[in-house]
Amino acid sequence: MDASDREIPGPSALPVVGAVHVTLAVFLFVILARTSPGTVAFLSAGAALVVGVSLVVGWSRVLLRAPLALVALDAFLVGLLVAGTGGDGSPYFPLYSLAALGIVRVSGLSRVAVATVLIAGGYLVAVGFADGPGALGDAPAGLRAGFVALFCVAVGYLGFGLRRLAGRERGLSSDLAAERDRAARAEGLVSGFGSALGTSSIEEILSWTAGAARDACGGTYAHVATLEENHHASVFEGDTDACPSWWHPSIQGLVLRACRGGGAARIEEEIHGTKGFLAVPMESAGGGARGAVIVGGGEFGAEEERVLGLISGAAGPALEAAEEAPGGRDPVSGLPNRASLHRVLRRELSQGRALTVFAVEVGGLGRFNRTHGFTAGDRLLRRVGVRLGGGRRAFHFGGDEFVVVLGGTDEARARRAALAIRQAVSEEAGDLARPAVGFVHAGAGHEDPDPVLRTALLALREAREGTDGVAGFPAPVEVTEAGGRPTGIVEALVGALEAKDPGIGEHLLNTSGIAGDIARAMSLPEEQVEDLVVGALLHDIGKLGVPDHILHKPGRLTDEEYERMKCHPTLGGEIVSPIKALVSALPAINHHHERFDGNGYPDGLSGEDIPLAARVVAVADAFDAMTRDRPYGYNVSREAALQEMEDNSGTQFDPGVVKALRQVLDDTEGRRAGSTA
């Protein structure tokens, strides 16, 4: 039976039907009392009254589920009334029409036919009972039976039409509710994630846009592409060897049509098994389209177009802002982060532009935090970020360090700029700060940003000890680590991981710095500190072997995916172990996910059986993750993060290492001030 052929009206209408029965029965009692017919007529009216009352109060469960039973009962009661009041000459013959109206609730042709036979046949039986079998051959009885049958068929046809209309109404209501739900989810997705887009990298924005488009609009395929810089990303659902990509001419043509037309564009052709595509342009702040968002593999109407417009409306400005911060923004200072700095420097230097790179240290931040609290320290970093970013390309390098990039390599101009930067930081930080600025010039031929940054940091180190807090180098110099450690290999490994998982580089560098500070606070030998620093820098290198769909999954991992992720310490050891110069880093790589209580992985080591380097890296890794914003952290304040780690001291973390971390946070700035006094 068709879905539209369901019974109407529903059970909620039966009390009304019952009320009609009661009213009609009372009316019949009044008339019958005046005409004094036989007992059969009164019996029929009484039964009708009982049926009506039972329908009103809901006693007749069978009649609620079987409309045909109610029609049969009505036909029987009317038949009794007609038989008891004259048969073919009964004045109550029109009541068969009322009984036939019940067929409107009967579904199915066979049931309508049965109901018709029951009513029309019931009339003939009543006539035969009252007037004798010979009366059935009279023309009036046959004509009346035929009229009743035709009326029943007409009512059945009317019921069929009403059920179809009701089915369509339910379908339209369901579709409308689904579309409203989809739009509400899209609006919630955009509003809930919109603020996070402001600190995300280009890759993260593209990934979010494509995923949100597919989830909100349905279909199997979603794609986002920009017209400039060739940024694009796709997501595809299903098991297939190929899916539409940016390189397919039809997809490129759809993007261009949407951008040039300034509105939605569609194609219905099939591409790699996917059919039906809708594209909506992403508008830029200055007007015009900077790219488009596409969904495919479904039937997309006006509601999907509106939802896609909401998503592209959030993605367009975010991508435009991300051009200045391609690796994302630091949530505390609001400036582009270290990953963005590396990308911008590499882009600028590869184009042969002459630059001066300034490394800036606020100085005194630890003392400021002790005096005013960590929240005030975060506000200070925000003010410094705003001040440095005014008219300059400024980046938050990490902690209390910033980097400013200016064009040109004029020595006098660079020193004036360095003094101006130092003065600006002093005005924001007050007397508790002792800012320092180091700078380096990078001209043609310096395409690698790493030597440039290392030299700027070396200049910053010298600036701390200078009288005016400023020092500089005319060109990048070769900076090697103590002990002749192969920096090129380490940088290559970290660079490979950064390419696979953009944004992780800043987390690795910060974890390495925190681990080194903890190790020095524990008075470890410098050689051991250096091994630990490198181990911390490479602790997540095993993620090179983790599939991208697991590494970049935005939601909760399945048990199988989590087990695969837990293999990364072992994979990291397998990657690094063939490199003899990095063997000393293996303990931190292999065991940084062990727990002090023995419930960690991969070997379930506990207490001092866990290598000290791994215990230190576990604390540094967790602290940086908690205080860092997405995608590698939870944006918890440093004070709350330290409290959380102290609460888990002795279970997840080594108590001695956690104590050293607190000492680092409390005393690092004091030790620095003492060394420069």
pTM assigned to the model: 0.46
Q: Tell me the C-alpha distance between 540 and 249, whole Å.
A: 39
pLDDT at 278: 93
Question: Which residues pair with residue 361 across a beta bridge?
Answer: 401, 436
**Residues with Cβ within 8 Å of residue 392, at least 6 apart in sequence:** 404, 405, 406
Handedness of CA 226, 230, 233, 238 (dihedral sign): positive
Of 148, 171, 40, residue with least CA distance to 99: 148
Task: Find out whether 291 and 298 touch, Cβ atoms under 8 Å.
Answer: no
Name residues of the chain where pLDDT drops below 50. 1-11, 192, 480-485, 631-633, 668-677
Q: How far is CA 457 from CA 11, 371, 382, 417, 452, in A?
A: 80, 27, 22, 17, 9
- List of long-range contacts for 6-9, beta carbons under 8 Å, 24+ apart: 6/107, 6/163, 6/166, 6/167, 7/67, 7/105, 7/106, 7/107, 7/163, 8/104, 8/105, 8/159, 8/162, 8/163, 8/166, 9/105
Q: What's at 352, amino acid-wise?
A: G
**Residues with Cβ within 8 Å of residue 243, at least 6 apart in sequence:** 221, 234, 236, 272, 274
Task: Find out whether 328 and 201 touch, Cβ atoms under 8 Å.
Answer: yes
Of 150, 72, 65, residue with least CA distance to 114: 72
Handedness of CA 248, 251, 255, 261 (dihedral sign): positive
Q: Tell me the C-alpha distance between 434 and 129, whole Å.
A: 116
- With respect to CATH, is domain 198-322 assigned 3.40.50.300? no
> Which CATH architecture best describes the domain 487-676?
Orthogonal Bundle (1.10)
Beta strand 221-226 pairing with 401-407: unpaired
Task: Find out whether 417 and 346 touch, Cβ atoms under 8 Å.
Answer: no
pLDDT at 632: 47
The domain limits of the chain are 3-170, 198-322, 338-479, 487-676
Looking at the domain 338-479, which fold is it? Alpha-Beta Plaits (3.30.70)
Q: What's at 495, amino acid-wise?
A: G
**Residues with Cβ within 8 Å of residue 164, at least 6 apart in sequence:** 2, 4, 5
Cis peptide before 67 (omega within 30 of 0): no
Q: Tell me the C-alpha distance between 108 and 166, whole Å.
A: 15
Matching fold, domains 198-322 and 487-676: no
Q: Tell me the C-alpha distance between 6 and 30, whole Å.
A: 38
Of 659, 646, 537, residue with least CA distance to 588: 537
Phi first, then psi, for residue 221 (nearest 5°) are -140, 140
Q: What's at 544, amino acid-wise?
A: L
Q: How far is CA 370 from CA 20, 402, 640, 669, in A?
A: 84, 21, 15, 10
